[in-house]
Structure 1
């Protein structure tokens, strides 16, 4: 089954505290997502403002190859406003956990009543309607199934199962989706995960392997609290593990860095796939092996994601191979004695300085000794 990837950076990603994308930035991100090859983009929430509506309509009518959607509260006013924005589909959402229903001072009966009314109403304006089950992973399974049943009966094309507070583990997600897909074999399911326990991407992959065709995610995992399932990590998984080559992964570094800059949230140097040091090795054992076979300690090819080749860091943990390699690249061929002499100095200096040795430092050690 080919995955259906839905990017929600422009909607859920922008809900990260303090993040605001301008119209220009949203359109630029939308362009990069088109280059990447996602299947759908959830552009925004019309109820936020008139400016938000204009941005949603501008992206929806740009002619990108992906489908488009907007997110709405389950009320007819929001749905009517969304219908004017030319998106392919709409996402409407209601809470299904007792804790969230009671927080709204509502009842399960109210949820079902509103679900039926708004889903049927949305079908008057959209050919595709996704119904979100907010806080699915904390809901009573029997009520969740009742909710899905009435959503389907009312014309929903897809059900979004949301781990709204990021409380689930992969085994729990597997059990949930096996249960739901067996109970509703003709329904298309989507998983929407949050990363509060650091498992959002793993949960998304587990959901896919347990019957969820659709996965929503954000660039850099941007989103509320600890963020969402990470779009670029899902792409990498499907490329390397599922051999899906429909994505233009070389755009990922450009996309991720642009979103980081636009959001004002810096990327960690060890961020998977594109962190500045994630393809850099210092350990002597690793560098020696990598010089013989790049796949020995790194199966990911940095160039697949728009980065340069594997790099070596010279420091406390380095070995002879990395020292020899460095100088060979400079057309300086050292004997074992000289290599060991410089290596000893490298270990001493980097331990004292508590940082790697720079190229300039290495050349200085060479000329001084």
Structure 2
């Protein structure tokens, strides 16, 4: 193992609540920011950039909430080189400011309409004033990777002389390479230096690691790599790269990575890319028969780390690439014990479903197994009717009548849309038979046009057990109801139901 960082104490400044929130369309309430900040603090992040206090009343409230929450992490806020910004930061109770000063000629002349001398004087004056207000100062050079190195070095040196506690080198539009980073960074380690990388050309993580190897001691990161344009260096990718590839103990509670990722995705409404490293849906999901067979014998054959390390679980999904070993393992987990002949037939049918382009869910596997093993699957839920009322002048409302274990249940619920209303009334109506929660919802259009067939996949949870199910209709509400009812039926089957092979 490579151990570049054995003698270093690296720090993490998380800017999800500032740079991450600048992702187009993302807007967090003060309460949501506090929830994320608390999770970041709990996992061991050193500094949390809580927002831009000067931006709005809501931002000021968020910084105050976080600064007063008693978190272990340092509370930081973004600040321009203006006394007004610094006053607001101090009045909100921030511990530190991320004092951002444009340093490239492009930004100085085109954005600010000023000269280098004017910006220099503004920066030093701001550092002095922030120290007078009792703040920790991280002096940050915006667009540093396109700045004149001598100007930036002089600015940093004078900033430190006037009280700046830390410095930050910003690759604002992601134009660094690892080689260029390694060449530049040692010139600017005049005080503890942070590296702030954007991922416009996909090199954010590589450049951040190169900077840390070259003398920087702090990395700016965001959860899920959120941020403007292509985002920032991803917290989860940097932490696990340092831990796994460089044998460096980050001090981060790694098992909290995935829950935090899900929380941020939910609150920002920015879905995770399916193939995103560490936290994407497919990061620890396998279908290939060769891969699954190897995993069942030794997980390290096709995984760089244990999914439990980051708070996840391994998934083996079934489809046309699945082999006998993975199908048998999935059936065993679902409670089925087919004989060899039955298993062979189940594998064949699952492959045929995969060949048709169908996503094979747990409910599909159970249906195939029931049919092959000639097991009787009595539906627990008999859906009699459901009605949706939705329009421009009405609140989406769903009503449903179902017979559950012989008991007729009628319910109604409102929602943010017709699908939301339908799924809520289904959850409420089955509550007396079991607490079933919708964990995930995904929809795909199978065909184009106004009459497109939609494929809805849901993930449901009951008593710690998770099951996937699907529905396919031309109407998205009907497809959603089909998927949920099918999954609920499977989850509500009696636990002692006989699923071993039928020998009669």
Q: Which residues of 2 match residues 1-369 of structure 1 at below 5 A?
A: 1-103=8-110, 104-181=112-189, 184=190, 187-241=191-245, 242-244=247-249, 246-308=251-313, 310-329=314-333, 330=335, 332-335=337-340, 339-356=343-360, 358-363=364-369, 366-367=372-373
TM-score normalised by L of structure 1 = 0.91
Q: Measure, in 1, the Cα distance between the counterparts of 2:159 and 2:244.
A: 36
CA contact (8 A) 2:96 2:138 kept: yes
How many residues are treated as equivalent by the alignment? 363
Q: Which has the higher strand share?
A: 2
Displacement of 1:164: 0.6
CA contact (8 A) 2:276 2:283 kept: yes
CA contact (8 A) 2:338 2:373 kept: no
Deviations 1:205-253 (A, max 9, x none): 2211221111111111111111111112222233334341622222222
Displacement of 1:196: 1.0
Q: Measure, in 2, the Cα distance between the counterparts of 1:43 and 1:230.
A: 17
CA contact (8 A) 1:316 1:346 kept: yes
Q: Measure, in 1, the Cα distance between the counterparts of 2:22 and 2:327.
A: 47
Unaligned runs of 5+ in 1: none
Q: Measure, in 2, the Cα distance between the counterparts of 1:53 and 1:339.
A: 61
Unaligned runs of 5+ in 2: 1-7, 375-504
Displacement of 1:180: 2.9
Q: Measure, in 2, the Cα distance between the counterparts of 1:213 and 1:105.
A: 33
What SS is found at the alignment partner of 1:258? helix
Q: In angstroms, what is the RMSD of aligned CA positions?
A: 2.2
Displacement of 1:97: 1.0
TM-score normalised by L of structure 2 = 0.68
> Which residue of structure 1 aligns with residue 457 of structure 2?
none
Q: Measure, in 2, the Cα distance between the counterparts of 1:136 and 1:158.
A: 15
CA contact (8 A) 2:145 2:170 kept: yes
CA contact (8 A) 2:223 2:234 kept: yes
Deviations 1:286-308 (A, max 9, x none): 11111110111102222222222
What SS is found at the alignment partner of 1:165? coil
CA contact (8 A) 2:287 2:319 kept: yes
Displacement of 1:348: 3.2
Displacement of 1:364: 5.1
Q: Measure, in 2, the Cα distance between the counterparts of 1:324 and 1:57.
A: 54
Which structure is higher in RCO with an 8 Å CA cutoff and minimum separation 6? Answer: 1
Q: Measure, in 1, the Cα distance between the counterparts of 2:201 and 2:339.
A: 50
CA contact (8 A) 1:115 1:150 kept: no
What SS is found at the alignment partner of 1:123? helix
Deviations 1:172-222 (A, max 9, x none): 2222213433xx3xx110011111112222222221122111111111111
Q: Measure, in 1, the Cα distance between the counterparts of 2:257 and 2:142.
A: 30
Deviations 1:27-52 (A, max 9, x none): 11111111111001111112112332
CA contact (8 A) 1:90 1:126 kept: no
The more displaced of 325-334 and 90-99 is: 325-334
CA 1:283–1:16 in structure 2 vs 1: closer, same or farther (change >3 Å)?
A: same
